[in-house]
């Protein structure tokens, strides 16, 4: 079991779950953090900006570590850094220290996420790769499903305690599981950005990933407000609805595993167009609460399959520089939150929620375009 595909997938799942938990633990805690440290909620919101920018920059440099440290070592560095950043966040006496701690958290997220996705290919055979990838990519949604209720419960006691119970504990679990993996040697080729982008198809693939992540992240940012403004849903009810959507993401990830090896490019086109239609319906047609929840669940299902297909496609384009490729993907994911939130905000101010749906649909259509023509 130590080297079986399921054991490998679970170890990488734990690393990705720790990364996602460190990324989202602040979301429900911002008002308490702001009140405790004497800053506004808007100022406290810049903590997410700091960690996101640090994660994106760290991910882009991940490939430079390829010839110096093996993937397991880089995973330890990433998970350890986000754990230290979380500990400092819990003990931060003032806002500047908390900002610095969030930069540490972001660096850990960028390195651990990039290394974990690259390891799904490096630590598996070609026959098992899609299975390991599908298991590992369950980590982020499981961090939402399990972590968010825990954050809410522990956050009632103290926002500082939430940092100890959620990201730190998940990082410890990931470390224990990774210790069961044998050490891996460094790569033979440096995976800097200049090298990565010389491989055919990488620029097209990465641009599609950025557009798709922007559409999905933007939909996540505004769907809570859509439920509250349209149906007067409570915060607790909104949380349950979003949790249900996260659950539906999981079967979407698992179902499409059987097709990603042979049809990843076609899946990226079909699922992106499907997501475009679904997100437009989600934001434009709101006949009832249950209809909107069902539309969000359908979008989550599609996003689960598309994320898997996008990862599989990227890992197959440049096997020699996989760590650099996954670093680009992680940076695209982080940038997607900023792009999606900004475009959604502009659309909401100019045309309401129907315009928001149209804007996100356009992003998903754009994500399909790079894959319409096969590589020669």
Confidence (pLDDT) at 78: 95
Beta-carbon neighbour count of residue 73 at 10 Å? 17
Query: Residue 1's pLDDT band (boundaries 50, 70, 90)?
Result: very low
As a whole number of Å, the end-to-end CA separation of the chain is 40
Specify whether the CB–CB gap between 216 and 366 falls below 8 A. no
Specify whether the CB–CB gap between 271 and 305 falls below 8 A. yes
Query: Using one digit for the tens of pLDDT, what is the confidence trace for 315-345?
Result: 888 888 888 898 998 888 888 878 888 888 8
CATH (one of 3.40.50.1260, 1.10.357.10, 1.20.1250.20, 3.90.420.10) for 194-371:
1.20.1250.20
Q: What is the mean pLDDT of the chain?
A: 87
Which residue matches tokens 């607790």? Answer: 236
- Which sequence spans correspond to the domains of the chain? 5-187, 194-371
Same fold, 5-187 and 194-371: yes
The burial class, CB within 10 Å (0-12 / 13-18 / 19+), for 79 is buried
Specify whether the CB–CB gap between 79 and 178 falls below 8 A. yes
What lies within 8 Å, CB to CB, of 252 at 6+ separation is: 300, 301, 302, 303, 304, 305
Query: Span 5-187: which CATH code?
Result: 1.20.1250.20
Largest CA distance in the chain: 58
Answer yes or no: is pLDDT of 346 > 60: yes
DSSP helix/strand/coil, 295: helix
Say what angle helices 95-122 and 129-136 make with each other, to 10 degrees. Answer: 160
Number of H helices, E strands in the chain: 17, 0
Highest mean pLDDT among 76-90, 235-249, 333-347, 361-375: 76-90
pTM equals: 0.82
User: What is the C-alpha to C-alpha distance for residues 320 and 315, in angstroms, rounded to an integer?
Assistant: 10
Angle value at C-alpha 315, between 313 and 317, nearest 5 degrees? 70
Confidence (pLDDT) at 127: 81
Specify whether the CB–CB gap between 337 and 211 falls below 8 A. no
Query: Using one digit for the tens of pLDDT, what is the confidence trace for 269-316?
Result: 999 999 999 999 999 999 999 999 999 999 999 999 999 999 889 988
């Amino acid at each position: 079991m130590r080297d079986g595909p399921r054991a490998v997938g679970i170890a990488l799942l734990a690393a990705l779950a720790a990364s996602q938990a460190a990324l989202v633990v602040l979301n429900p805690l911002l008002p308490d953090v702001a009140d405790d440290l004497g800053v506004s909620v808007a100022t406290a919101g810049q903590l997410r900006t700091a960690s996101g920018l640090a994660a994106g920059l760290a991910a882009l440099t991940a490939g430079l570590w390829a010839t110096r440290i093996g993937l397991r070592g880089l995973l330890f560095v990433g998970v350890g850094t986000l754990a230290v950043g979380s500990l400092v966040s819990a003990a931060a006496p003032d806002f500047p220290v908390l900002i610095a701690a969030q930069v540490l958290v972001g660096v850990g997220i960028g390195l651990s996420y990039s290394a974990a996705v690259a390891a799904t290919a490096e630590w598996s055979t070609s026959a098992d790769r899609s299975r390991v990838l599908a298991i590992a990519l369950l980590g982020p949604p499981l961090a939402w499903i399990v972590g968010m209720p825990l954050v809410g419960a522990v956050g009632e006691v103290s926002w500082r305690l939430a940092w100890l119970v959620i990201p730190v504990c998940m990082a410890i679990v990931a470390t224990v599981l990774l210790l069961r993996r044998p050490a891996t040697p460094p790569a033979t080729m440096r995976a800097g950005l200049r090298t990565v982008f010389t491989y055919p198809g990488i620029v097209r693939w990465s641009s599609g990933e950025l557009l798709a992540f922007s559409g999905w992240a933007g939909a996540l940012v505004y769907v809570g407000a859509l439920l509250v403004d349209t149906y007067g849903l409570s915060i607790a009810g909104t949380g349950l609805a979003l949790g249900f959507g996260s659950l539906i993401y999981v079967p979407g990830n698992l179902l499409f595993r059987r097709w990603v090896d042979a049809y990843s490019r076609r899946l990226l086109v079909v699922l992106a167009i499907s997501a475009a239609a679904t997100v437009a319906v989600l934001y434009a047609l709101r006949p009832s609460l249950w209809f909107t929840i069902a539309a969000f669940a359908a979008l989550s299902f599609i996003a689960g399959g598309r994320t898997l297909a996008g990862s599989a496609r990227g890992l197959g384009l440049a096997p020699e520089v996989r760590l650099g490729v996954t670093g680009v993907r992680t940076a695209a994911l982080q940038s997607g939150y900023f792009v999606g939130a900004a475009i959604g905000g502009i659309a909401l101010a100019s045309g309401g929620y129907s315009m928001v749906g149209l804007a996100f649909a356009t992003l998903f259509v754009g994500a399909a375009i790079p894959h319409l023509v096969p590589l020669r």
